[in-house]
Chains A and B, each alone.
Chain A
Amino acid sequence: MKDVLKQLARDLKAEKLRTFLTIFGIVWGTVAISLMLAFGTGLHKQLIKSTAGLGDRIVIAWPGLTSIPYEGLGKGRRIRIREDDLTAIRGNVPGLKAVSGEYSNNMKVVYGTKTLSVDTSGVVPEFGTMRNMIPQMGGRFIDAVDYNEQRRTVFLGNQLAKDLFGTTPAVGKMINVNQSPFLVVGVLQEKDQDSNYSGPDDQKMFIPSTTFRALTDKKYVDNFVFQAANSDDTKQVIKRVSAALGKRLRFNADDKEALGMWDTTEQFKFFDVFMLAFNAFLGIIGVLTLVVGGIGVSNIMNVVVEERTREIGIKMALGAKQRYILGQFLIETMLVTFLGGAIGFAIALSVCAVFPKLGLSQYVGDPVVSPLVAILTSLALGIVGLIAGYFPARDAARLDPVVAMKL
């Protein structure tokens, strides 16, 4: 075995260019396919992440004017939704996981010498999870106690916290909101958000809706947000919510203007379809790359065997058995494949390591290399090379030594 390896090292060294080309072919194939799939995965994750910035497969609803007459009531009637309307559907609509009204106003925030005008939302605690409001370390979102006891607590968007407090910690500080003191209980962890309906979350702040109503005398929600227990059922849950509210507030459940809905799960579905198409595209390119790489490797192995036929003849004349000749080629191919695969994988990994520093992550995400893909790719190329090398090597080993030596 040691001899075989030693001889192998010598052969590879002697055939520098060819060894280089073979390894290059496998490296290229591995890098191309690993990276393509890595970018595909990264893009998918980023799409989901930035969409999820708005919320985790939620529906946003706005009350509006009726457009269909209902039980003797003419159209053009304004629909107003109170907190008890939402309380009524909470727990009464099958498949509805959570719902939160959202009251919005512009409020004056004062901290020290700074005065800012801030978009403020009054919400219930479930709003935090639905809208992916993840607090930074040491903080929290509005909780049930805040809500029930109508506390003056506030959750700040990260950009807003920076504007007010700079780099000093905000949690635990008091700020003045419309002349009332509020305790900062949490700051939003930075998140990617590619869409919004009332300004990006990082510049907003959130307080309990009970507190909000007491502060502003607002009786009706500006909009509300809800989430189905199973996102696949979102369509039905939307219908049920419309029906339940329509019955309570007397509007046609099919009236799209009485209650405007934005189903963000559709976006996720679109991404799923898009990614399926994208992956199919990558798959085709990957297969083509493999074929091209495989042809390259097999060509090289063919040439190797052809050029070595004389050498094979000499070895056979000296008493080398067939399996020795074949074994040498197989080990050589495996080593070259392994080396090429490892180098290709390393290159793909470094590209993935460097990529986030280019600042494009926001748009296309960070590529993630799957070791499985890299292994499978180099394995596939190796098998092609092995097959390509095996048959000519076997043919050469089957020749009579004299014939092989003369070639």
Chain B
Amino acid sequence: MTTKNELIIRMDEIRKVYDTGKVKVEALKGINLEIEKGEMVAIVGPSGSGKSTLMNLVGCLDTPTSGIYEIGGQAVSGVTRDELAEIRNRRVGFVFQAFNLLPHITALENVELPMLFGGVKPHERRERASELLERVGLGDRLDHKPTELSGGQMQRVAIARALAMEPDIVLADEPTGNLDSSAGGDIMSIFTNLWQQGRTLVIITHDPALARRASRVVEIHDGRITSDQATNAAA
């Protein structure tokens, strides 16, 4: 962190309380986090520590109970649901552990979806989607449905989809969690490549190897950040 870069994410005393009626679970207990453009942040921590909760807040999939959150300089409190949807559409690309592809449509159409919601013209969508799929090595699988693809291939479709709207930040919640080590390795390489191309990434992982590739490792314990360190890779 030698040069001060543009700030993509800024979190100030973020709390998240899950109220299940009987019990209240405080999943995040005051998170302060800033992420700059071009960083690759690995978030690690034991199960149940609040990693996914944090990630969902970063991606505007969920709203914090309290605290200030800004993405790309835009405050994310008091905005309508549709505005939130627009932020997700333009600023954030998601990669989930469970892939979350729509099963009935082809790889190409899955990648096109965010652009459909973002109002990109049909031929432009098609062109960009096939280009992205080619980039993740699936140029010959455009018309396959998710069920006709392997886990690694599905996750690559998901990565292509996450990049479709040229987001400010790509978020991945245990992207290799459902993959064997070889497919997981491929996915990790794609992420490192993206980072090297200048993209901003936040990746939740249990995998120490993947964490080592990041420029910065944030450790969470019981809803609090306990460690935040640049790695050798940052240099």
Contact = CB atoms under 8 A, between A and B. Distances in A.
A10 B104 contact: yes
B71 to A, nearest CB: 14
A320 interface: yes
Given A10-B105, A400-B61, A317 B117 contact: no
Nearest to A316: B85
Contacts of B117: 315, 318-321, 324
Mostly, the A contact residues are helix
Contacts of B113: 315, 318
B86 A319 contact: yes
A402 interface: yes
Contacts of B88: 316-319, 401
B45 interface: no
Nearest to A397: B81
B132 to A, nearest CB: 14
Contact of A14 (B81, B104, B114): B104
A314 interface: yes
B33 interface: no
A399 B90 CA distance: 20
Contact of A319 (B56, B90, B105): B90
B56 A402 contact: yes
A290 to B, nearest CB: 32
Of residues A2, A7, A319, which shows the largest number of chain B Cβ atoms within 10 Å of its Cβ? A319
A163 interface: no
Interface string B90-124: 10001010001111110000000110111000100
B161 interface: yes
Given A10-B105, A401-B61, A402-B62, A319 B118 contact: yes
Given A315-B113, A317-B94, A322 B100 contact: no
A319 B81 contact: no
Nearest to B55: A402
B229 to A, nearest CB: 28
Contacts, number: 64
A317 B81 CA distance: 11
Of residues B85, B86, B101, B161, which shows the largest number of chain A Cβ atoms within 10 Å of its Cβ? B85
A395 interface: no
B94 to A, nearest CB: 6
A27 B81 CA distance: 38
B89 interface: yes
A233 interface: no
A405 interface: yes
A317 B82 contact: no
A3 B82 CA distance: 20
B165 A319 contact: yes
B49 interface: no
A311 interface: yes
Nearest to B101: A314
A11 interface: yes
A315 B61 CA distance: 11
Contact of A311 (B102, B161, B165): B102
16 contacts: A2-B122, A3-B122, A10-B105, A14-B103, A317-B61, A317-B88, A317-B94, A318-B88, A319-B86, A319-B90, A321-B85, A321-B117, A322-B82, A400-B63, A402-B56, A405-B96
